[in-house]
């Protein structure tokens, strides 16, 4: 993980936020390559979940919502961690993680040793960020930064159903930022205070076979992660036990990815059967009927909700961890670092190099880069030995490198080198665009 964090900074995937000011607590910025990788992931999710289906509608709800939303959802009362303060050193710890906590004043001491600490009773600390809206700072104008995007879907349920004329079963999907004032964030972009969710809420008839839909979405979502190239043996389901299950939930599975090292298997997505908890709470708190009207069967009911909720940052991290490898190259002294990212989500699709900086090769290669850039993200590089330029592209996961050499100037073909197999073949320069389109689809 340390090597990956260093690579991410050096090559422009991910920087610490406000780094020149010493950083902002567990907040990260996506640099030129990171933003493209994450965009590709989000676009794939949006296409699979919204555009390619006729039974899911898209939404982009705002981060700021009416404060009553969070009373109805249960977050104001229950979205808390129990905290204890130490009266001696003034540090604050999660009460349920005291055994792992270390006194900040005595770093030599082992975690969990609190022999001369003077700890307060546990107090509940709400994880929502609070702010005030409008010019007057009073309690009526409190607003929260949403801790999840799901509530934006529930409160818009009827508006969307009516505008889109969808019939149950159907879903609503959105991608957006959420915020949690985590006490112990960490592990790079795995747990951060500002993060991005890709959530879909699927509304089903409680009198029909809703467990079948639950199983359907479990399967679909696992298949989606596999389609990103995440290794099969690094993905698993974790079923929530009775104890883990929220009181209203009928079933819940996490999709876990093996991040390796001390992190191991961790949740990257949750598939939850939430019953009619959310809609019935909003119906109660808003005083507005949120029932779906089935005009054919002449019934009104609150649908059940199957939720699929995936962390965009965690999935980005999983793709990076899954792809990172160091390997020996046959016949070469130095090894190489490769980000074996699926070509379809790689931030740069092709590196384009003139073999040497003369004989018209730079001009030919630059022209090729200009033509390809309209359709694919490509990177032109003429500096340093060709081997070094290959290594630079391997390290950021570029699947193809196109080299313009002496033969190009004679027959118009370029060398196409494959990142993973290292195989090289010659392709006519005017066919490269079609070649890439085929290899990237």
If you count them, how many residues does the chain have? 441
Residue nearer to a copy of itself on the CB measure, 198 or 252: 198
**Is residue 357 involved in binding a copy of itself (CB under 8 A)?**
no
Please say which residue, 129 or 265, places its beta carbon nearer to a copy of itself. 129
Q: Whose structure tokens read 């989000």?
A: 42
Exactly one of 4, 11, 147, 319 binds a copy of itself (CB under 8 A); which one? 11
Structural contact between residues 176 and 65, judged by C-beta atoms closer than 8 angstroms: no
Q: Does 156 bind a copy of itself (CB under 8 A)?
A: yes
Distance between CA atoms of residues 390 and 386, nearest Å: 6
Instruction: Map the footprint of a copy of itself across residues 313-352, applying CB under 8 A.
Output: none
> In the window 12-31, what residues touch a copy of itself (CB under 8 A)?
12, 15, 17-25, 27-31
Cα torsion through 212, 218, 221, 226, rounded to 10: -120
CB of 251 to a copy of itself, least distance (A): 28
Binding to a copy of itself, residues 361-420 (CB under 8 A) = 369-370, 373-374, 377, 380
- Give the other-Cβ count within 10 Å of 330's Cβ: 6
Residue 83 or 249: the one with the smaller Cβ distance to a copy of itself is 83
Q: List the one residue from 77, 88, 124, 163 that touches a copy of itself (CB under 8 A).
A: 163
Choosing from 120, 132, 239, 424, the residue that interacts with a copy of itself (CB under 8 A) is 132
Residue identified by tokens 């390290």 is: 395
124 touching a copy of itself, by CB under 8 A: no
Short-list 418, 433, 419, 413, CA closest to 369:
433
Q: For residue 353, give the nearest of 391, 396, 397, 323 by alpha carbon.
A: 391
Please name every residue paired with 178 in a beta bridge, in sequence order, or none if there are none. 195
- SS3 call for 396: coil
Q: How many residues bind a copy of itself (CB under 8 A)?
A: 82
**181 touches a copy of itself by CB under 8 A:** yes
Query: Minimal distance in Å, beta carbon 343 to a copy of itself?
Result: 16
What mask of x and - would describe binding to a copy of itself in positions 230 to 249, judged by CB under 8 A?
Answer: --------------------
Edge-to-edge strands, sheet with 80-85: 92-94, 80-85, 123-126
Q: Point out which span in 3-11, 95-103, 258-266, 431-439 binds a copy of itself (CB under 8 A).
A: 3-11
Between residues 6 and 424, which has the closer beta carbon with respect to a copy of itself? 6
Question: What is the nearest approach in angstroms of a copy of itself to the Cβ of residue 134?
Answer: 6
Check residue 294 for interaction with a copy of itself (CB under 8 A).
no
Question: Interface residues for a copy of itself in 59-78 (CB under 8 A)?
Answer: 59-66, 68-69
155: contact with a copy of itself by CB under 8 A: yes
Which of 236, 286, 407, 433 is close enough to bind a copy of itself by CB under 8 A? 286
Q: Which long-range contacts (CB under 8 A, 24 or more apart) does 22-26 make?
A: 25/185, 25/193, 26/182, 26/185, 26/186, 26/191, 26/192, 26/193
Buried b (16+ CB within 10 A) or exposed e, 136-168: eeeeeeebbbbbbbbbbbbbbbbebbeeeebeb
Query: By CB under 8 A, is residue 98 in contact with a copy of itself?
Result: no
Contacts to a copy of itself from residues 187-226, by CB under 8 A = 193-194
Is the peptide bond prior to 169 cis by the omega test (within 30 degrees of 0)?
A: yes
Spatial CB neighbours of 152, under 8 Å, sequence gap ≥ 6: 59, 61, 62, 65, 146, 174, 176
Among the listed ranges 52-60, 105-113, 238-246, 262-270, the one in contact with a copy of itself (CB under 8 A) is: 52-60
94/250 with CB nearer a copy of itself? 94
């Amino acid at each position: 993980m340390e090597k990956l964090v260093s690579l991410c900074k050096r090559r422009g995937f991910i920087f610490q936020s406000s780094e020149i000011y010493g950083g902002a607590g567990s907040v990260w910025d996506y640099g030129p390559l990171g933003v493209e990788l994450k965009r590709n992931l989000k676009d794939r999710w949006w296409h699979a979940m919204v555009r390619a289906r006729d039974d899911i509608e898209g939404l982009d709800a705002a981060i700021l919502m009416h404060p009553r939303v969070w009373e109805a959802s249960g977050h104001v009362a229950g979205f808390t961690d129990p905290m204890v303060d130490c009266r001696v050193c003034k540090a604050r710890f999660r009460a349920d993680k005291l055994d792992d906590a270390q006194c900040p004043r005595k770093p030599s001491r082992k975690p969990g040793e609190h022999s001369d600490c003077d700890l307060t009773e546990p107090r509940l600390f709400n994880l929502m960020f609070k702010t005030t809206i409008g010019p007057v700072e009073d309690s009526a104008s409190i607003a929260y930064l949403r801790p999840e995007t799901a509530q934006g879907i529930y409160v818009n349920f009827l508006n969307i159903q009516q505008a889109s004329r969808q019939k149950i079963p159907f879903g609503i999907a959105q991608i957006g930022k959420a915020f949690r004032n985590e006490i112990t964030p960490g592990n790079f972009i795995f747990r951060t205070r500002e993060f991005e969710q890709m959530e879909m809420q699927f509304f089903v008839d409680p009198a029909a076979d809703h467990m079948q839909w639950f199983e359907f979405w479990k399967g679909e979502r696992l298949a989606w992660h596999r389609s990103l190239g995440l290794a099969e043996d690094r993905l698993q389901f974790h079923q929530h036990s009775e104890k883990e299950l929220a009181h209203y939930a009928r079933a819940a599975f996490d999709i876990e990815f093996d991040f390796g090292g001390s992190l191991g298997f961790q949740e990257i997505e949750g598939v939850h059967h939430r019953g009619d908890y959310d809609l019935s709470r909003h119906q109660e708190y808003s005083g507005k009927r949120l029932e779906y009207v089935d005009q054919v069967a002449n019934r009104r009911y609150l649908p059940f909700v199957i939720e699929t909720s995936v962390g965009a940052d965690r999935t980005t991290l999983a793709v990076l961890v899954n792809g990172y490898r160091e390997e020996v190259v046959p016949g070469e002294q130095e090894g190489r670092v490769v980000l074996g990212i699926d070509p379809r989500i790689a931030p740069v699709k092709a590196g384009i190099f003139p073999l040497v900086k003369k004989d018209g090769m730079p001009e030919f290669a630059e022209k090729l880069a200009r033509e390809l850039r309209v359709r694919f993200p490509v990177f032109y590089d003429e500096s340093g030995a060709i081997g070094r330029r290959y290594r630079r592209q391997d390290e950021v996961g570029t699947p193809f490198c196109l080299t313009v050499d002496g033969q190009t100037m004679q027959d118009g073909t370029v060398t196409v080198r494959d990142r993973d197999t290292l195989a090289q073949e010659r392709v006519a320069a005017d066919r490269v665009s079609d070649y890439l389109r085929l290899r990237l689809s």
